[in-house]
Amino acid sequence: MSPKALDHDSINENVKRAQYAVRGELYLRASELQKEGKKIIFTNVGNPQALGQRPLTFPRQVIALCQAPFLLDDPNVGLIFPADAIARAKHYLSLTSGAGLGAYSDSRGIPGVRKEVAEFIQRRDGYPTDPELIYLTDGASKGILVPVPQYPLYSAAISLYGGSFVPYYLEETANWGLDINNLRQSVAQARSKGITARAMVIINPGNPTGQCLSEANLKEIIRFCHQENLVLLGDEVYQQNIYQDERPFLSSRKVLMDMGQPISKELQLISFHTVSKGYWGECGQRGGYFEMTNIPPETVDEIYKVASISLSPNIAGQIFVGLMVSPPRPGDISYEGFVRESKGILESLRRRAQLMTDGFNSCRNVVCNFTEGAMYSFPQIRLPPKAIEAAKRAGKVPDVFYCLKLLEATGISTVPGSGFGQKEGVFHMRTTILPAEEEMPEIMGSFKKFNDEFMEQYDDHRGYSRM
Amino acid sequence: MSPKALDHDSINENVKRAQYAVRGELYLRASELQKEGKKIIFTNVGNPQALGQRPLTFPRQVIALCQAPFLLDDPNVGLIFPADAIARAKHYLSLTSGAGLGAYSDSRGIPGVRKEVAEFIQRRDGYPTDPELIYLTDGASKGILVPVPQYPLYSAAISLYGGSFVPYYLEETANWGLDINNLRQSVAQARSKGITARAMVIINPGNPTGQCLSEANLKEIIRFCHQENLVLLGDEVYQQNIYQDERPFLSSRKVLMDMGQPISKELQLISFHTVSKGYWGECGQRGGYFEMTNIPPETVDEIYKVASISLSPNIAGQIFVGLMVSPPRPGDISYEGFVRESKGILESLRRRAQLMTDGFNSCRNVVCNFTEGAMYSFPQIRLPPKAIEAAKRAGKVPDVFYCLKLLEATGISTVPGSGFGQKEGVFHMRTTILPAEEEMPEIMGSFKKFNDEFMEQYDDHRGYSRM
Ligand SMILES: Cc1ncc(COP(=O)(O)O)c(C=O)c1O
Ligand SMILES: Cc1ncc(COP(=O)(O)O)c(C=O)c1O
């Protein structure tokens, strides 16, 4: 009998080639162990509220009222909701023309919320922007996956759409900085293989590397993309997550505009933001946006058409975007509580970033750069040759071998560095800095115990893999 | 200078080829007119709450509490929320392991909700099903767009992924029934052009045609797909929307299981459902699921991997799916209110279906089948030759010409039949049956006035296009 349409042999090779490590083998094994009753510490995805972060109160009050608009007529509503949340809920419901959360919006998102995003960008960067070029999405991932070819945020998406992935390497010894010469080499090398690069992604602050790009570095990148006719995709979902003061977040768009004409009118740039990160951490709500700069109107129309096929982003997520870009202001009833909650989260993340870096650096054969921003720690694990041989015998990539052993021994679920790409012969693992602050000492202790025993077992002091 | 990456000339031809009529030219013009202050009646998308349908109270109460879980500790919560909504909110929060609505779930959806969906399917069809083969999605559209090649629910998605679209025609004269001989011809014709059909979509009840498929017809379709090695995609998003008693909704899965082995173990079937339709109409929440039958485990894994790239469907939408498949039960505090609201909506839709069909059939050169199910009316408009010539002179497809004139004259925003495909020389338009019942007489009156004047203007009684 001939194979059926969805037999594994029949399906598209691009689908099979796509790899997505964050939810790959390690995650699957962790889920199994959890089912068997083992306590798992999920540090594999930046998912703060799954690790105990409490949601911010005010935005949740607003959304609850939007979900249950009949409460607005209830004489008792004031007993459990503050007046400014009630007012804000009425505001967003009016932006939906009264249709509320249960109606599809325009596929680009609710016009009034897109206007609030434009105002936020202008406040942040000091340059006006056009709400017509801001599209709301179900989280940044959905925006990023608009299937324009060579839209290479993640290697998975590229494989899926049959594109080619041109890697460039960040410099671990320079705190994961971006060396423009490396970039030039990568593009030239790709060209010599017949691949024309079309887009460049930067993640700033970086995932998994945590680095914050300097203004000088951003300018180099922008000039490079301009010369090479690359569209720059600026993944800026971690813009609120900054844990040092030397390099505050600078948006690609601001740096581009500061550079003036002609480049500010020519470089094609798409910037992404989300409610999943920052001190919001509202991952499950699926709210985000992307902003297009210097994209020709006919292309914007095509992107609109593609967005139309899935009808509309979820409305509650859109309103979360609105709330993120216009939080309570001084004088509002909820202002002080909001500031207390959000500062509390950010300050604790900052302390956790430090705890983790220090913890990793105290371990045998582990070296780790400081997490300047974002939500991750990306220590290098210097695996001894005997460990690499043992991994080969087990049929595993060495860092996968290490991370699986870590998972089995401690319940700590991480992502092997090979899922992100790393230089030949160098190994890492990625964890988030999200476990609760009070659990951090125990987690780092249990990591250190595992790691140092692992190294004791495999390290015969003949030497080990190094960068 | 060489073209930039996102210049219109550079982007993928598949993107440009994709067409999506529901939000096409007519919709854009309607949006413009609305901006200019004209009152527009949007009957172009099945979007009930945008046309005044009120959301069901109980599910909205549950979701509001899930969004604001701190209310569950508020001593006054019982003043504005009923006890069963409070209990249900606690139930769903516990299914998220306490993480609530702000954390990514597994990419397939929350396991507990998938279990509730499996129980619903078993109650509905009388056959057990495996929660591991049920994936929750951000609305049915998102599920359908899983980029497995040749996943041709909508022609737009097919174009986008570079597939080929093999049309089969429904029989207007047989109340839009599906003639299996037509189907055979279509597949044979495609084969003679070198195209191997991989999947067949049925929409039951139909959009735009409104027909409900009989058991005999479903069996024929299943046998046909089995013979031809086609995966059957059963879009059953309108399963609650039935407006006659002769042909109740039958799921493809039930009919398949009733047919027994070997076919019940062999036919590859994917069924879709959503919270956007039925008496729910929660379009903006983006909640849906698909269920896989006889799909090999390795392919299920690939689909899981693809789903992982966008991390997780929105959690509130997932809980809406849970609420849809397990609504309040007799004896629950909210049961009577829930039944009153849901029956009220369905009965009114049934009356509106009748009002619309009768209204269209009272118009000159218009013939319309009865809306047996779903949310649409799809009258045939017999355009006189002079109207067709006028359209050509205006550079418009004839039914687009007609619908644009209708929009300008009355504010009624519809979708031309050409956006759905229709036989050569035959013209239709699609409206939803969703405008408020009390506004229906006025809308149908204004349609009739426009149509009859249009026909008076162009019909010189020499004859007209006919089926
Ligand atoms: C760099 C980066 N971009 C985008 C995303 C997607 O976030 P979301 O789709 O939840 O907005 C993530 C999630 O972890 C991320 O790390
Ligand atoms: C036949 C059909 N399938 C699927 C959908 C998508 O619905 P949603 O993505 O809102 O679940 C629609 C929407 O109108 C539809 O008509």
- The answer to whether residue A334 neighbours chain B at the CB level (below 8 Å) is no
**Domain ranges for chain A:** 8-52+345-458, 100-325
Range B357-366 average pLDDT? 97
What's the CATH code, domain B8-52+345-458? Answer: 3.90.1150.10
Q: Is the pLDDT of residue B82 over 80?
A: yes
**Which residues in chain A are closer than 8 Å to B2, comparing Cβ atoms?**
229
Torsions phi, psi for B270 (to 5 deg): -125, 125
Residues with CB under 6 A from ligand 2: A 311; B 46, 139-141, 203, 207, 235, 237, 274, 276, 283, 288
Residue to test with chain A: of B35, B104, B113, B146, most A Cβ within 10 A = B104
CA angle B332–B333–B336, rounded 5-degree value: 85
Q: What was the pLDDT predicted at B45?
A: 80
Q: Ligand 2: which residue has its CA nearest to atom 14?
A: B46
Give tens-digit pLDDT for B209-232.
999 999 999 999 999 999 998 899
Q: Measured in whole angstroms, how far is the alpha carbon of residue B71 from the centre of its chain?
A: 35
Between positions 354 and 413 of A, the ones with CB within 8 A of B are none
CA of A200: which chain B residue's CA is closest?
Answer: B5
Q: Is the pLDDT of residue A18 over 60?
A: yes
Q: Ligand 2: which residue has its CA nearest to atom 1?
A: B207
With CB atoms and an 8 Å threshold, state whether B229 touches A2. Answer: yes
With CB atoms and an 8 Å threshold, state whether A284 touches B99. Answer: yes
The CA distance from B136 to B275, in Å, is: 11
Q: What was the pLDDT predicted at B331?
A: 95
Residue to test with chain B: of A195, A311, A345, most B Cβ within 10 A = A311
- The answer to whether residue B20 neighbours chain A at the CB level (below 8 Å) is yes
Residue to test with chain B: of A4, A25, A108, A282, most B Cβ within 10 A = A4
Q: Is the pLDDT of residue A130 over 90?
A: yes
- The answer to whether residue B321 neighbours chain A at the CB level (below 8 Å) is no
Give tens-digit pLDDT for B178-204.
888 888 988 898 889 888 888 888 889
- Distance between A251 CA and the closest CA of chain B, angstroms: 21
CA of A289 to the centre of ligand 2 (A): 23
- The answer to whether residue B305 neighbours chain A at the CB level (below 8 Å) is yes
> Mean pLDDT: which of B149-163, B209-223, B451-465 is highest?
B209-223
Contact B47, B286 (CB under 8 A): no
With CB atoms and an 8 Å threshold, state whether A312 touches B286. Answer: yes
Query: Mutate which of A207, A212, A415 to test ligand 1's pocket (most atoms within 8 Å of Cβ)?
Result: A207
Q: What was the pLDDT predicted at B23?
A: 67
Q: What was the pLDDT predicted at A143?
A: 47
With CB atoms and an 8 Å threshold, state whether A4 touches B285. Answer: no
Q: What was the pLDDT predicted at A462?
A: 55
Q: Is the pLDDT of residue A89 over 70?
A: yes
Q: 10 Å Cβ neighbour count for A66?
A: 25
Contact A356, A363 (CB under 8 A): no
Torsion of CA A63, A68, A72, A76, to 10 degrees: -100
With CB atoms and an 8 Å threshold, state whether A102 touches B296. Answer: no
Which residues of A116-252 form beta strands (DSSP E)? Answer: 134-137, 170-171, 177-178, 199-203, 231-235
Give tens-digit pLDDT for B261-287.
999 999 999 999 999 999 999 999 999
CA of A324 to the centre of ligand 2 (A): 29
Contacts with B174 (C-beta within 8 Å, 6 or more apart), sequence order:
none
**Among partner residues A4, A57, A104, which is closest to B268 by beta-carbon distance?**
A4
Q: What was the pLDDT predicted at B67?
A: 96
Beta strands B134-137 and B170-171, pairing class: unpaired
Contact B377, B205 (CB under 8 A): no
CA of A114 to the centre of ligand 1 (A): 20
- The answer to whether residue B196 neighbours chain A at the CB level (below 8 Å) is no
The CA distance from A105 to A93, in Å, is: 12
- The answer to whether residue B265 neighbours chain A at the CB level (below 8 Å) is no
Range A77-84 average pLDDT? 95
Q: Measured in whole angstroms, how far is the alpha carbon of residue B211 from the centre of its chain?
A: 13
Q: Measured in whole angstroms, how far is the alpha carbon of residue B298 from the centre of its chain?
A: 29
Residue to test with chain B: of A17, A47, A53, A104, most B Cβ within 10 A = A104
Provide the sign of the torsion angle of the four alpha carbons B168, B173, B176, B178, taken in this order: negative
- Distance between B319 CA and the closest CA of chain A, angstroms: 11
CA angle A51–A57–A60, rounded 5-degree value: 90
Q: What was the pLDDT predicted at A148?
A: 31
Q: What was the pLDDT predicted at A197?
A: 82
Pick the CATH number of A100-325 from 3.40.640.10, 2.120.10.80, 3.40.47.10, 3.30.230.10: 3.40.640.10
The CA distance from A205 to A207, in Å, is: 7
Q: What was the pLDDT predicted at B467?
A: 42
Give tens-digit pLDDT for A305-344.
878 877 889 999 999 999 999 999 999 999 999 999 999 9
Give tens-digit pLDDT for A131-165.
999 999 887 665 443 333 222 345 566 666 667 77
Q: Which two tokens stand for residue A380?
A: 């290098």
CA distances from B408 to B1, B336, B402 (A): 43, 44, 10
**Among partner residues A6, A60, A315, which is closest to B268 by beta-carbon distance?**
A6
Q: Which two tokens stand for residue A55?
A: 């949601």
What string of DSSP letters covers B430-466?
A: EEES-S-GGGHHHHHHHHHHHHHHHHHHH--SS----
Q: Is the pLDDT of residue B149 over 50?
A: no
Give tens-digit pLDDT for A27-65.
889 889 988 999 988 888 888 898 888 999 999 999 999
CA of B196: which chain A residue's CA is closest?
Answer: A5
Range A347-362 average pLDDT? 97
Query: Mutate which of B274, B285, B321, B324 to test ligand 2's pocket (most atoms within 8 Å of Cβ)?
Result: B274
Counting ligands in written order, the one closest to the CA of A102 is 2
Q: What was the pLDDT predicted at B196?
A: 82
**Among partner residues B99, B281, B314, which is closest to A286 by beta-carbon distance?**
B314
With CB atoms and an 8 Å threshold, state whether A16 touches B302. Answer: yes
Q: What was the pLDDT predicted at B421?
A: 79
Counting ligands in written order, the one closest to the CA of B312 is 1
In sequence order, the β-bridge partners of residue A171 are: A177
Instruction: Report residue A422's pLDDT band, with 50, 70 and 90 as the boundaries.
Output: confident
Question: Which atom of ligand 1 lies at the shortest distance from residue A287's CA?
Answer: 11
CA of B311 to the centre of ligand 1 (A): 8
Q: What was the pLDDT predicted at A281?
A: 92
Contact A6, B148 (CB under 8 A): yes
CA of B21 to the centre of ligand 2 (A): 14
Give tens-digit pLDDT for B6-49.
788 877 777 676 666 666 788 889 889 988 999 988 888 888 89
- The answer to whether residue B6 neighbours chain A at the CB level (below 8 Å) is yes
Range A250-266 average pLDDT? 97
Its ipTM equals 0.89
Q: What was the pLDDT predicted at B259?
A: 98
CA of B47 to the centre of ligand 2 (A): 10
Q: Is the pLDDT of residue A1 over 70?
A: no
Between positions 82 and 121 of A, the ones with CB within 8 A of B are 96-97, 99-107
Q: What is the mean pLDDT of chain A?
A: 88
